[in-house]
Amino acid sequence: AAGFDKHGQALRPLLQLGFGFVEVGTVTPEPQPGNPQPRMFRLLPDRAVINRYGFNSHGAAAVQQNLERYRREEEEEKTQHSSSSASSTLPWWQQLWCTLYPPHPARGPIGVNIGKNKMTPNEQAVQDYVSNIQRLAPYADYLVVNISSPNTPNLRELQRGDEFEALL
């Protein structure tokens, strides 16, 4: 879910742990700190956690760099595995093992959850979302348009009729 890897810094390790997909974000066009701390509260009797992070984000440019690096490494990995040859310096039994059981890189869909900056008025929210889409969509397998965070003032107003249609 969004919020676990907010900046796209742990894509490969999360997939290697067995996650079926990783969703980055919520990503805002410009960096912002999110809500003031403390912003996470543990309710021991209820066995619950309250999260009031807001959209703390390094910004779309930083996340784009992380996604570009991940996709580049993914391509290099594919090339490495497809160009492995039997003329390797590995002992014959390791070559046989690698032929029978080639290493499989961690793979899974990468989603990007996008949001508007806190200081962006709702009348200009579409520009924030479009900016994020243009910058991040080329690296994502899917996008999530976040208009439901209760921690971002007035964000849920974008769910209403005309605002929602304009956003779509």
Active site residues: 149
* HEC letters along 46-85: CCEEEECCCCCECCHHHHHHHHHHHHHHHHHHHHHHHCCC
Please, which residues have CB within 8 angstroms of residue 80's CB and are 6 or more apart in sequence? none
Q: 26, 59, 54: which is closest to 38 by C-alpha? A: 54
Of the CA atoms within 13 Å of residue 13, those in its CB half-sphere come to 5
Cis before residue 26, ω within 30 degrees of 0? Answer: yes
125-136 vs 60-82: helix axis angle to the nearest 10? 20
State both tokens at 43: 């309710």
DSSP-derived 3-state class of residue 122: helix
Q: Identity (one letter) of the amino acid at 100?
A: L
